Amino acid sequence: MSSLVDVAQAAGVSVSTASRVLTGSSHPISAKTRARVIAVAEELGYSPSALARALVSRSSRLMGVLVSDIVNPYFSVIARGVDDVASRAGYVTMLCNVDRRTTTEITRVRTMRDYRAAGLIFAGSGYVDDPREPELAKAVRQAQEQGIHAVSLTARDIGCRVIAADARAAAYDVTDYLISLGHRRIAFIEGPEGMVATQQRRDGFLACMENADLADGAQCLPGGFDFEAGHAAAMRLIAHPPLPDAVVAVNDEAAVGALSALRQAHIDVPGEISVAGIDDLRVSRFVGLTTVSLPLYEMGAMAARHIIDTPPEAAAGAAETTVLSHRLIPRETTARRRPARA
Amino acid sequence: MSSLVDVAQAAGVSVSTASRVLTGSSHPISAKTRARVIAVAEELGYSPSALARALVSRSSRLMGVLVSDIVNPYFSVIARGVDDVASRAGYVTMLCNVDRRTTTEITRVRTMRDYRAAGLIFAGSGYVDDPREPELAKAVRQAQEQGIHAVSLTARDIGCRVIAADARAAAYDVTDYLISLGHRRIAFIEGPEGMVATQQRRDGFLACMENADLADGAQCLPGGFDFEAGHAAAMRLIAHPPLPDAVVAVNDEAAVGALSALRQAHIDVPGEISVAGIDDLRVSRFVGLTTVSLPLYEMGAMAARHIIDTPPEAAAGAAETTVLSHRLIPRETTARRRPARA
DNA sequence: TTGTATGCGTTATCAA
DNA sequence: TTGATAACGCATACAA
């Protein structure tokens, strides 16, 4: 409860002097005074108000991160990347779950603005032709004009810096790998309807199939980002034989769901059918899922570092895009295509 | 960038009037003035400084949550519970990963204090005989004296309110279930050395075994909270036959690791051996793991609600304990003990 | 090396 | 119904 004036008084110095020693200012202070102030501050249990500090210095050490749902490992890994570099730099990360709702994103952006956050990280993807996107873009612009850095971790048209992996290429690459294993008829389990991330990954899949002259063997199934969606999609596949040679899901969680459904139906994976995903979550290692590794942790870390290292004046700067590389991780759920049983 | 004075000036009113309009105060304001202020604020893109507001009102709408690692689903579910009620009440949640380090917890508590957080939630467990605990308790006390509510989600002796499940009873109950299925020789995969959570769960296991006169059949294996630890523990079990009738792990993640190791070794679960965990994470449903459901989301939500609903004056109040109920969830990794093969 | 004074953006008290 | 004005806790430009 004691403030700087209390400390100053008790130490018999002026507030400025107290401030200078407590902030570790380079301003010259006699060793004696310094020691006394520090001792008094400690004794009084002085806690410098980060609020007042941010107010007067016109810059906070707050970092906002907007995720769809922190329970989703895709996002929690990103959040961890953000917080690791943020906390190491003396920043505090503010977490916002937006449940993929653009309107919620807008309100959160405003809140982050009210807190004069140093930066704002959009971890989740947007929607195709989202009518709310202009409003979000406006909120972002207003934040930027205030010196708040905005970074998106997916390709997104809201006028901010983008640090992301190439989702389309990632999908292309797993598909290509499956084709290289001899698979011809491949099913793609899609993500949530209308999301850009869904579209990009589907596009990558389709482009690869077409380039391999396998467009006829391509099949897209409605799905979703979660286990249940992948499970359901696979069930539909099972219900309508013949099974494709392989299935690639929009992400690992759906892939694991599909895998689970197939094995429950006593279908041999990868013997009868190969399964692959995208993201390379922790769980994927455990189940041996072939996937594409995306640098999620690094994306969060890089975004945070960018925010910390770039002066506020540059917040409204050019919305450059940094594309991070991904990597195919072949594991045990995929195998060379088995010749058809006679 | 425009402040309340800018808005007031542009609207031709005093700051007080502008403030009253913009805060939705009950103070009477003429409709005309109100409309004008609102219009001007909108036009100027006015964003009220939450910092200044907190400074003058001496109470912020910041909620701190300390987790071991947000990537761990146990904690992300808690964090989600916290943020859901926090954000709905207009609070912002500040996330801190402390990696189970008491010293990091201490510094984070101080940081939360500097931000004048409304509350502080300790999601993770502490250590037995932790030499740093007094220092942490002191930091907590200082925070409380400032009106900051502290809540621990595990039994923890740091002088704050506890809202937690009965870990010991949870472990007791799974063990009891296993025994009821006819199992006699049961192994327990422990958590990280020295953690209170580990101790409590082990205690519950041992107490149950003793009560069933099965102390001789009880076996404790060093393990950990993660997949790898469970996997390794199961490997050790496999390496030293005969296998016990069942294994209960300190938590679900370790249980899944054990399950995975056993099945990799072509050991039939639950045919040859039953496996159970504690926590009831999402993954447990997917793999059909028998476990004990802990109200993690509710714990986070309740803690947040408590903080929001209790006036700051009561922060230093009695450190009551609320014990939440758990529930056994029998699934497919456990089965009645099979008579020994002749 | 230390101190004084000003302002950061709000809310709230007290007048008018 | 509206308006001055005093805090809130701190950093810093300017003096001394």
Q: Which pLDDT belongs to residue B319?
A: 83
Residue B340 banded pLDDT, cuts 50, 70, 90: low
Q: Which positions 55-114 on chain B have a beta carbon less than 7 angstroms from any atom of strand D? A: 55-56, 58
- B289-306 residue pLDDT tens: 999 999 999 999 999 999
- Give Cα A47 distance to the centre of its chain: 33
Q: How far apart are CA A122 and CA A106, in angstroms?
A: 11
Strand C nucleotides, any atom under 7 Å to a protein CB: 1-5, 7-13
Task: Determine which of A31-35, A220-224, B69-73, B180-184 has the lowest per-residue pLDDT on average.
Answer: A31-35
Interface of A with B (CB under 8 A): 1, 45, 47-52, 54-55, 60, 69-71, 73, 76-77, 79-80, 83-84, 87, 92-97, 110-111, 113-116, 142, 145-146, 227, 256-257, 260, 282-283, 286
Q: Which residues contact B270 (CB under 8 A, 6 or more apart)?
A: B332, B333, B334, B335
Question: What pTM was computed for the model?
Answer: 0.97
Q: How far apart are CA B103 and CA A269, in angstroms?
A: 47
* Mean of per-residue pLDDT scores for chain A: 96
Task: Please compute, for residue A212, the number of CA atoms within 13 A of its CA located in the half-sphere on the CB side.
Answer: 24
Q: Which pLDDT belongs to residue B342?
A: 44
Residue reference for tokens 């006028």: A159
In the A/B pair of chains, how many CB contacts fall below 8 A? 116
- Tell me if A94 and B97 make a contact (CB, 8 A cut-off): no
Q: Which residues pair with A96 in a beta bridge?
A: A66
Q: How far apart are CA B189 and CA B202, in angstroms?
A: 9
- Give Cα A258 distance to the centre of its chain: 24
- The stretches of chain B forming alpha helices (DSSP H) are 4-11, 15-23, 31-44, 50-57, 73-88, 102-114, 133-145, 167-180, 196-211, 227-239, 252-264, 282-287, 296-309
- Tell me if B97 and A77 make a contact (CB, 8 A cut-off): no
Q: How far apart are CA A172 and CA A218, in angstroms?
A: 13
In this predicted structure, the answer to whether residue B258 has a pLDDT above a threshold of 50 is yes
Q: How far apart are CA B75 and CA B81, in angstroms?
A: 10
- A265-315 residue pLDDT tens: 999 999 999 999 999 999 999 999 999 999 999 999 999 999 999 999 898
CA of B20 to C1' of D1 (A): 12
Phi-psi sector, A103: left (phi>0), alpha (psi -120 to 50), beta: alpha
CA of B93 to C1' of D10 (A): 24
* Mean of per-residue pLDDT scores for chain B: 96
CA of B157 to C1' of C11 (A): 38
Which nucleotide C1' is nearest B29 CA? D1
Task: List phi, psi (to 5°) of B62.
Answer: -110, 135
Taking residues B127-153, report their average pLDDT.
97
Nearest-CA residue relative to C1' of D2: B17
Task: Please compute, for residue A277, the number of CA atoms within 13 A of its CA located in the half-sphere on the CB side.
Answer: 32
In this predicted structure, the answer to whether residue B226 has a pLDDT above a threshold of 80 is yes
Q: Which pLDDT belongs to residue A338?
A: 80
Q: What percent of chain A has pLDDT over 90?
A: 94
Among the partner-chain residues A51, A77, A146, the one whose CB lies closest to the CB of B115 is A51
Among the partner-chain residues A50, A83, A113, the one whose CB lies closest to the CB of B95 is A83
Task: List phi, psi (to 5°) of B157.
Answer: -90, 60
Taking residues A194-220, report their average pLDDT.
98
Residue in A158, A180, A178, A154 with CA at minimum distance from that of residue A167: A154
CA of A138 to C1' of C11 (A): 29
Q: Which residues contact B85 (CB under 8 A, 6 or more apart)?
A: B301, B304, B305, B308
Task: List phi, psi (to 5°) of B93.
Answer: -95, 135
In this predicted structure, the answer to whether residue B55 has a pLDDT above a threshold of 80 is yes
Q: Are A301 and A273 in contact (CB under 8 A)?
A: no
Give the start-end residues of each E strand in A123-229: 149-152, 161-165, 186-189, 218-221
Q: What percent of chain B has pLDDT over 90?
A: 94
CA of B47 to C1' of D1 (A): 25
In this predicted structure, the answer to whether residue A142 has a pLDDT above a threshold of 70 is yes
Pairing of strands B119-122, B161-165: unpaired
Sign of CA pseudo-dihedral A234, A240, A241, A244: negative
Q: Are B208 and B137 in contact (CB under 8 A)?
A: no
Q: How far apart are CA B331 and CA B328, in angstroms?
A: 10
Task: List phi, psi (to 5°) of A237.
Answer: -60, -45
- Tell me if A55 and B49 make a contact (CB, 8 A cut-off): yes
- Give Cα B251 distance to the centre of its chain: 14
Q: Which residues pair with B66 in a beta bridge?
A: B96, B122
- DSSP reduced 3-state for A93: strand
Q: CA of A110, closest CA in chain B: separation in Å?
A: 8
Q: Which residues contact B271 (CB under 8 A, 6 or more apart)?
A: B335, B338
Q: Which pLDDT belongs to residue B341?
A: 53
Q: Which pLDDT belongs to residue B90?
A: 97
Sign of CA pseudo-dihedral B260, B264, B268, B273: negative
Domains of chain B listed by start with CATH number:
4-56 (1.10.260.40), 59-165+295-324 (3.40.50.2300), 167-294 (3.40.50.2300)
In this predicted structure, the answer to whether residue A342 has a pLDDT above a threshold of 70 is no
- A3-13 residue pLDDT tens: 999 999 999 99
Chosen for mutation from B49, B68, B92 (greatest number of chain A CBs closer than 10 Å) is B92
